[in-house]
Structure 1
Amino acid sequence: MWSNLPSDLLSNIFSYLPPHSVPRAMAACRHWRDSARSATRRHHHRRRHPPWFVALPTRKNDSYFIHNPIENTWHSLDLEHVPSLIKPVSTIGGHGLILFKTTGGVAIRLSVCNPFTGQVGQLPPLQKPRRNPAVGVIEVSNCPGQFNVYVAGGMSEAGSGGAASYEPTLEMFDSGSKKWTIVGSMPVEFAVRLTVWTPNESVYSNGILYWMTSARAYSIMGFEIGTNRWMEFSVPMGYMLEFAAIVPRNGQLAVVGGVDGGDVVVWEMGEGGEWNVIERMPVELRRRFVGGSIKCVGIEGGVCLYRDMVSGMVTWRRGRNCEDRWEWNWIEGCNWVSGRELENYSIKGLFLHPNIASCPFI
């Protein structure tokens, strides 16, 4: 019976499979392979499945590690297809892509990689070469497979006088046209703070692209896409937080922060920029986890707090059976993979939804 089902019906069935089961279905026969590929192209966001956590070493390493939340297992993948002298910036999570940038004090170049297929593609050079700008990503919801990358601030190339300066412009890359466009200017003080104090994680919500400064007191910089207007927002308890990160949640902007004394709190931005406490990490997880240098990463559908490779992680995810309910869970660290013991080291954590469909941009 299965061999005689129409391709469109098979494709719809395969779209409900968890990501790690799709390759197994594709290996059955040519008919299933073609139908599964169609499913990954048509349902590339796969929002019904929880995002996967990717652990990339902050120092040179030949492999990275990924956690399958459905089977609660760790797996290793090699980095041979990723060029050297680059480091991860963020993910284009719904497309299953990791965004990388060049290192070494040179003008920034960006590239994307699908860790499951090995596809790598480099973005063209920016119109204005710059070093260490803030980078933000927006996934184009009404154009499947397309995304925009924003680059703000950064140090410009040294001019004839020999001195570099801060670049007070913002550029946007459109994966559809594969071109960079200068979309507007920005206050110089914003360019300075985005260059010096802003990590590359960004959140897009309700027409505004947000970045958070990394120095106390924490603050949030926002760029309204439709009006080219820059804004600044306060962070709740900005002076008291031991760590803080912005994350998306149900289409809104949220802040996850650790308060002096061990409490971990989640705030959500309401109307008028007001912050409301919506969640706290359970006491039993807080006692088990809090302490040391804590990092946080988020994507629609999940937030993860982590320290390093083996210490374990705490996740706060949308429930599998009830999307309106979010659940806290503990995940053991990655100590063993494929029968070998791993050493502990610092990592950069990212979230993505695995996708084995070919990326139109690449």
Structure 2
Amino acid sequence: MWSNLPLDLLAAVFSHLPADALAAANSTCRTWRAAADCAAARGGHPPWFLAVPATRGVSGNRAFVYNPIRLTWHVLPQINTAPIKAVAAINCGLVLGKFSGGSSLKLVVTNPFTGQFKPLPELTVARINPAVGVVDFSDSSSAVPRFKIYVAGGMSADARGGGAAYQPTIESYDSSSHTWATAATMPAELAVRLTVWTPHESVYSNGTLYWMTSARAYSVMGFETATKKWRELSVPMADLLEYAALVPTAGGGLGVVGWTSGTATFSCRIWELGDGEEWRAVGKVPFEMANKVFKNVESWSAVKCVATKGMVCLYRGFGIGILMKFKDCGEFEWEWIEECNRKEFENVPIKGLLLYPNLGRSAFCFR
């Protein structure tokens, strides 16, 4: 019966399989392999934790992924020969990365599960260390991923030999047209803050793209993509937090994960932005769970945070972390991710991403 099904119908069935089951179907026969290549990833399955070594050349561009269904780690083969650092996850199983060679930002989109690789065009203005954000418009029915990438601030590439010149503009890349365009200008002060004090992690919520600025005290910068206006938000307990990161909430809102430390204890909390730009506490990591991830850390900043809609993961090294699931009732479910038994990379810093794996061949990478 299965051999008589049309290829498009078989691909639709395969699109509901988790990644490990789809991989098994892919290796069954030529017909199933062709159907698996056409299968679009759909929701209903939890994201996988992707761990990419942050140190250039440590693992030969290999990556490691944690399967939350089978509770197992897997080694992904070498993605490509170019030195790339992961920046952010994009829907449909893609990863935004940057070339680590050279000073000016050069971006690339890859699928770590299939090895697909597509460099993006050069920016309209060469920039060093700008803030980078992703706005994803894709959904489970999208045949081709649709997203925008925003690059804000950064230092001029020709300013290294003299005084620093910061770029007071933000430009955007549209995956539909495969081009960059200047989106808006910004005050010089914002350009400096986004260049010096902002990591690449961003959250898009209700028409605004947010970045966290890490200068004491913490604050949040937001760019309204429709009106081209900037806004600034305070952060709860900003002057007391050792670390803070932005996360998307289950309802598509904006959240903050942060932790504080005292002389004998520490605390990790989660807040959500409500009406009137007021923050409300929505959760706290149980001490016994937090103690596992924070134990014996040399610096509180050694623990990092990565999130996707409704889920947050705190991690340190390969697989030492906590997976937190947002529930509709506002409570949390806590799950411990076992360590990745890779002794050769035990003390190697990593960049973690939560990714919905896609084993199909992405149409975006062939456009």
One-letter amino acid of the counterpart of residue 27, structure 1: S
One-letter amino acid of the counterpart of residue 304, structure 2: K
| Counterpart secondary structure, 2:359 | coil
Indicate the larger mover: 58-67 or 168-177: 58-67
Distance 1:49 1:238 in 2: 35
Shift of 1:29: 3.1
Match of 2:268 among 264, 284, 309: 264
Q: Partner of 1:75 in structure 2?
A: 74
What does residue range 21-170 of structure 1 map to in structure 2 within 5 Å? 21-40=21-40, 44=41, 46-59=42-55, 60-61=57-58, 62=60, 63-79=62-78, 81-84=80-83, 86-92=84-90, 94-103=91-100, 106-141=103-138, 144-158=144-158, 163-170=163-170
Where in structure 1 are there 5+ consecutive unaligned residues?
A: none
CA RMSD of aligned residues (A): 2.3
Is 1:309 aligned with 2:318?
A: yes
Shift of 1:241: 1.0
Distance 1:82 1:305, change over 3 A: farther
Shift of 1:287: 2.7
- Preserved contact between residue 269 and residue 275 of structure 1 (Cα < 8 Å): yes
Q: Partner of 2:200 in structure 1?
A: 200
- Preserved contact between residue 334 and residue 342 of structure 1 (Cα < 8 Å): no
> Which string of whole-angstrom CA distances, capped at 9 and with x for unpartnered residues, describes residues 11-30 of structure 1?
33322211111121123234
Is 1:296 aligned with 2:294?
A: no
| Counterpart secondary structure, 2:199 | coil
Shift of 1:342: 5.0
Q: Partner of 1:334 in structure 2?
A: 340
- Aligned residue pairs: how many? 350
- Preserved contact between residue 103 and residue 157 of structure 2 (Cα < 8 Å): no
Identity of aligned residues (%): 49
One-letter amino acid of the counterpart of residue 347, structure 1: I
Distance 1:78 1:106, change over 3 A: same
Length-normalised TM-score, structure 1: 0.90
Shift of 1:318: 4.8
Where in structure 2 are there 5+ consecutive unaligned residues?
A: none
Indicate the larger mover: 127-136 or 96-105: 96-105
Length-normalised TM-score, structure 2: 0.88
One-letter amino acid of the counterpart of residue 199, structure 1: P
> Which string of whole-angstrom CA distances, capped at 9 and with x for unpartnered residues, describes residues 176-216 of structure 1?
11100001101111110000000000000100000001232
